[in-house]
Every structure is written in structure tokens, then in C-alpha cells.
Amino acid sequence: MQVLFYIFAAISILSALFVVAAKSPINSVIALIVCFLSIAGHYILLNAQFLAVVHIIVYTGAIMVLFLFVIMLLNLNKSTEPQKSLATRVAAVIAGGVFLLTLLGAIKDGIGIAPPAAYDGSVGLVKSVGVSLFTDYLLPFEVSSVLFLSAMIGAVMLGKKDTSPQPLSGGKVLTKGAGTNA
Amino acid sequence: MNDIVTVIRSVPLEHYVFLSFTLFSIGLAGALFRRNTIIILMCLELMFNSVNLLLAAFSAHHGDPGGQVFVFFIMLVAAAEVTVGLAILVMMKRNVDSIDINQLNRLKW
């Protein structure tokens, strides 16, 4: 059964590499969805069932659909985007590889962690996570709603068309209702 | 289900750490590698997820639901971040008619 972990790990890493390497943004999105589904598989193996469901709903269901929606809305599916210069790309790969080596070197003598706690089948179920969320972490939970409100307002402000008068355009200043009133 | 979980607990925690490091490095290299802003945002999501996976693994290791609550909050922040990021992307496409990250170099000097 341990082989399930390695299968999911291989799927995660291969699809993550494909996200970076794919020419078309649509292919990148599909690869990233595969990667997220395999990570949800990891969560289920860790008995974090609440996280697995929330991960699938939030990431695969909402965020990736948002990415796909933006790609199709802006018609970005061109595979002929300009590439960075070869030197920059080689430098990027080297930077990632050196970063990985640094992380691995930091833990090469073991991570010095306590032995695993006794197995408790209820950790990760909705009940235990929910009790923890609404007792110990109640304030961050409420603050995160303010974060969402500000994100929503920010997205609307950024996304709406700029209807302010444009002094450089010359001639009549167009206002928002000019077309419908005339 | 419980059989699977008990067997999976014999996977050493180091392997989760290695997997998470690898995913994070791929995301970091991808963010430097590509010029397409939407791909860079996706690489950020990849890095978020590698950290989430590590937190969930440690949480399961210690039998403490606090780590999973933390993952939940990271998901909230990631959702807010991607909302604003995609709105900025739409604005960028509208203003400079491109999503090439090199177009945004006016803050350079």
C-alpha cells in the first residue's frame, strides 16, 4: 500500500514539470489540475479527509476554473509567446536546482523530529478540524472574512473599466452614460 | 480505509519532505523560467500546495489538527491572492495588450 504514496508523488512531480514546460497555457492548467488531484490523493492517504475535499472544491473547482476562464476570456491560448533568453532560462533552472540542493543539504542529517504520535483516526475528520477551527482559531477565521471582503472589493475595482475622464484623448470627455442617453 | 492509513504511516516523514521540496523548487524555477504572467501565477499556486502538503504531513505525524487548520487558512489566502492576481492580469492585458511580464519593467529604475 505504500506504493500508493510513490505513485501519487510521481504523478505530482511529473505534472508539475509539465506545468512549467507546456507551450500552451491551457495545457499548463490541465497539468496543474492533475497535480492538484494527486495532492488531494496525498491528503486522503494522510487521513486528512476534510482537507482533501476542501482542496478539490477550492483549488480544482474554483481557482483552476478561474484560471481557465481568464485564459479563454482574454484569448491567451497562443503558443507563440516570446521566450526568455537562453541565459535567463538556464539561470532559472540552475537557481531552482541549487535551491533544492540547499534545502536537501539542510536536512541531510535528518530532520530531528519527534517519533510519530499514537495513531488517532479522528484527526483530520471534519469534527476535529471544525472544533479546532471554531475554538482555538476563531479570531483568524473571522479576520479571514475581512480579507475576503477586501480581496473582492480589490478585484472589482481592478477589473472594472476605467470610466474616468481622459484629458489626453482630446475633444469631448466621454462619461459612462453618454452612449445610452444620447 | 483505516488499513490504508495505518500502512501509509510507515512511509517515512522524510519522503514527504523530499516531495514537498521538489514541488517547491519546480514552482520556484518555473516562476523564474517563464514570461507568461498566468503561468507565473500557476507556479505560485504550486509552491502554496507544496507547503500545504508538508503542513498536512506534519499534522498527521503529530496527530494535531492545528496544522490542518493552518492549511485551511493558507487556502483562504491563496484564493484571495489569485482573485486579485487575475484581476491585475486582466487589467494588464487591457492596458498594455500583453501578458508578458517583461512589459512591467517601468518600476525598474
Average the pLDDT over each of A72-86, A140-154, B12-26, B60-74 and give the range with the smallest value: A72-86
Residue A14 is predicted with a pLDDT of 95
Using a CB-CB distance cutoff of 8 angstroms, which residues of chain A are in contact with residue B46? 16, 19, 32, 35
Tens digit of pLDDT for each residue in A97-125? 999 999 989 888 877 777 777 777 777 78
Average pLDDT taken over every residue of chain A = 83
**What Å distances lie between residue B99 and A25, A45, A63, CA to CA?**
12, 38, 19
Q: What is the pLDDT of residue B91?
A: 86
> Does the distance separating the beta carbons of A97 and B29 come in below 8 Å?
yes
Per the CB < 8 A criterion, the answer to whether B61 and A116 are in contact is yes
pLDDT band at A181 (very low <50, low <70, confident <90, very high): very low
Q: In this model, does residue A46 exceed pLDDT 50?
A: yes
Q: Which three cell numbers stand for residue A59?
A: 483549488
pLDDT of A179 > 60? The answer is no
Å between B66 CA and nearest CA of chain A: 7
Instruction: Give the pLDDT score at A169.
Output: 47
Per-residue pLDDT, A76: 73
From first to last of its 109 residues, chain B has per-residue pLDDT tens of 566 566 566 778 888 999 999 999 999 999 998 888 889 999 999 999 999 999 999 888 888 888 899 999 999 999 999 999 999 888 888 888 778 887 777 766 5
- By residue count, chain B amounts to 109
DSSP category for residue A141: H
DSSP percent split of chain A into helix, strand, coil, nearest 5? 70, 0, 30
pLDDT given at position A177: 46
Residues of A in contact with B15 (CB under 8 A): 5, 9
A13, A46, A136 ranked by CB distance to B22: nearest: A13
DSSP 8-state symbol, A56: I
Candidates A3, A15, A39, A141: best to mutate against B (most CBs of B within 10 A) is: A39
Q: If pLDDT is split at 50, 70 and 90, which confidence band does A32 have?
A: very high
Residue A180 pLDDT exceeds 50:
no
- Which of B6, B16, B49, B95 to probe the A interface (max A CBs under 10 A)? B49
- Residue A35 clears pLDDT 80, i.e. is over it: yes
Name residues 8-67 of chain A within 8 A of B (Cβ).
9, 12-13, 16-17, 19-20, 25, 28-29, 32, 35-36, 39, 42-43, 45-48, 50-51, 54-55, 58-59, 62-63, 66-67
Q: What is the pLDDT of residues A6-21, one digit of tens each?
A: 999 999 999 999 999 8
Flag if B91 and A151 touch (Cβ within 8 Å). no
Strand runs labelled E in A6-140: none
Shortest Cα distance from A182 to chain B (angstroms)? 27
Do residues A6 and A48 lie in contact, with contact meaning Cβ atoms separated by under 8 Å?
Answer: no
b/e B70-96 (16+ beta carbons within 10 angstroms → b): bbbbebbebbbbbbbbbbbbbbbbeee
Task: Give yes or no for residue A39 having a pLDDT over 90.
Answer: yes
Instruction: Identify the closest residue of chain B to A87 by CA–CA distance.
Output: B33
Please give the grid coordinates belonging to residue B25. Answer: 523548487
The pTM score is: 0.85
